[in-house]
C-alpha cells in the first residue's frame, strides 16, 4: 500500500538519528547497490552522521513522521560542471514498495534546483540490475539518457550503468 505522500518529509541529519541510520545503513540489502560499506555498529553510524552526513553538500534524512527511514543525497558539480548534480538515495527495507523513495526524490528535485541556482540538470547512474531504482527515477520524471557499458566498479564488480537525467525545465509528475 502506498504511503500518504504528505507523511514523507526531508530534513538535515541529526546525531540522534544514529539508531535509525544503522537500521538501513547496516543492512546489506540496502547497501548492495550503493558505494557505501555496510555499517556494523552504532559507533560507526554516529561517526558517519557526524563526519559525512552533516557536512555533506546536500544530504537529507528521509522521514516518516520525524523518524529517519532513508536518505537522499545530491552532489552539485563545480567549475565547468556546475550545471549538474548527481543524486543517490536509499530506504530502509521495511519501507520498500510504499512510494517513499519516489516521493523523496520528487521533493529533493525542487529543493535542489532552489538551493543551487547554477544546477540545471540532476543525473543518476543506476546499475542495469537495480530495477526498483530505475522505476523510482521513471516515476519521478527522469529520462533515460543511455547505457554506459563497463563504466565503473561496484563492490569489486564491473558494472553497466544507465544514465538518467532530470532538467530544471522538466515537470515533476503529480502524486
Ligand atoms: C531503490 C529503493 C530506494 C526504492 O525505494 P522504494 O521506497 O521501495 O521505492 P518506491 O516504492 O517509490 O518505488 C519502487 C518501484 O520499483 C518497483 N520494483 C521493485 N522491485 C522491482 C523489480 N525487481 N523489478 C521491477 N520493478 C521493481 C516497485 O514495484 C515500484 O514501482 P511501482 O510503484 O510502479 O509498483 C529501495 O529499494 C532501496 O533503498 N534500495 C537499496 C538502495 C538503492 O538501490 N538505491 C539506489 C541506488 S542507484
* pLDDT above 70 as % of the chain: 100
Q: Is 25 in the pocket of ligand 1 (CB under 6 A)?
A: no
pTM: 0.96
Beta strands in 36-116 (DSSP E): 59-64, 67-76, 84-91
Backbone φ, ψ for residue 89 (5° rounding): -160, 165
Give the model's pLDDT for residue 71.
Answer: 98
Measured distance CA(17)–CA(107) in Å, rounded: 20
For residue range 67-117, list pLDDT tens digits in order. Answer: 999 999 999 999 999 999 999 999 999 999 999 999 999 999 999 999 999
Give the model's pLDDT for residue 70.
Answer: 98
Q: Is 101 in the pocket of ligand 1 (CB under 6 A)?
A: yes
With beta carbons less than 8 A apart as the criterion, state whether 68 and 53 touch. Answer: no
Q: How far is the CA of 129 from the centre of ligand 1 (A)?
A: 11
Grid cell locating 168: 530544471
Tell me the Cα Rg of the chain: 16
Give the model's pLDDT for residue 27.
Answer: 98
3-class secondary structure, 71:
strand
Q: Is 126 in the pocket of ligand 1 (CB under 6 A)?
A: yes
Q: How far is the CA of 78 from the centre of ligand 1 (A)?
A: 30
Amino acid at each position: 500500500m502506498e504511503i500518504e505522500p504528505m507523511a514523507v518529509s526531508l530534513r538535515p541529519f541529526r546525531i540522534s538519528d544514529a539508531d535509525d541510520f544503522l537500521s538501513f545503513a547496516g543492512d546489506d540489502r540496502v547497501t548492495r547497490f550503493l558505494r557505501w560499506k555496510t555499517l556494523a555498529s552504532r559507533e560507526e553510524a554516529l561517526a558517519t552522521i557526524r563526519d559525512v552526513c552533516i557536512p555533506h553538500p546536500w544530504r537529507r534524512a528521509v522521514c516518516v513522521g520525524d523518524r529517519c527511514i532513508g536518505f537522499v543525497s545530491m552532489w552539485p558539480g563545480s567549475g565547468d560542471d556546475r550545471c549538474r548534480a548527481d543524486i543517490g538515495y536509499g530506504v530502509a527495507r521495511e519501507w520498500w514498495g510504499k512510494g517513499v523513495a519516489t516521493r523523496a526524490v520528487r521533493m529533493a528535485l525542487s529543493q535542489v534546483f532552489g538551493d543551487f541556482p547554477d544546477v540545471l540538470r540532476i543525473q543518476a547512474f543506476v546499475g542495469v540490475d537495480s530495477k526498483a531504482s530505475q522505476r523510482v527515477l521513471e516515476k519521478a520524471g527522469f529520462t533515460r539518457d543511455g547505457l554506459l557499458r563497463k563504466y565503473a566498479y561496484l563492490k569489486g564488480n564491473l558494472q553497466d550503468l544507465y544514465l538518467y537525467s532530470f532538467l530544471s525545465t522538466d515537470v515533476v509528475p503529480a502524486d
